[in-house]
Amino acid sequence: MESRERRAGENEALYREVNERVLELEERFGLERRTVAFICECSRLACSERIELTPEEYESVRASPTRFVLLPGHEDTSIERILERTERFVVVEKLPGGPAEAAAREDPRS
């Protein structure tokens, strides 16, 4: 896998790990807000923008280790394909091969 793809995958895995902790804290402390501010899981190294999702929306994305949630416009079609687009977020799936394998390997739920 190219170093750019590897760095992008590492960045996405880090953001996904942070979002897992956000969801865990939300559930542990029972704040029961309608939406939760998750971090965009895009490959941009400097991105720290937030996406408002319900816990159910986030769980739907996390049903597959190769899926990530991004802000609209943050997708990179050289390493992922768009599965769903809303006004608030985009769900992408890593392309087969290196990007998908890296995403599955780095999945904190695996």
Q: How do residues 8-58 score in pLDDT, each as one tens digit?
A: 777 788 888 888 888 888 777 766 668 889 999 998 888 999 999 998 999
Question: How far apart are the C-alpha atoms of 97 and 101, rounded to whole Å?
Answer: 6
Question: How far apart are the C-alpha atoms of 66 and 57, rounded to whole Å?
Answer: 16
pLDDT score of 61: 94
Instruction: Give me the phi and psi of 85, to 5 degrees please.
Output: -135, 130
Mean pLDDT of the chain: 85
Please work out, in degrees rounded to the nearest 5, the angle formed at the alpha carbon of residue 83 by the alpha carbons of 55 and 90. Answer: 55
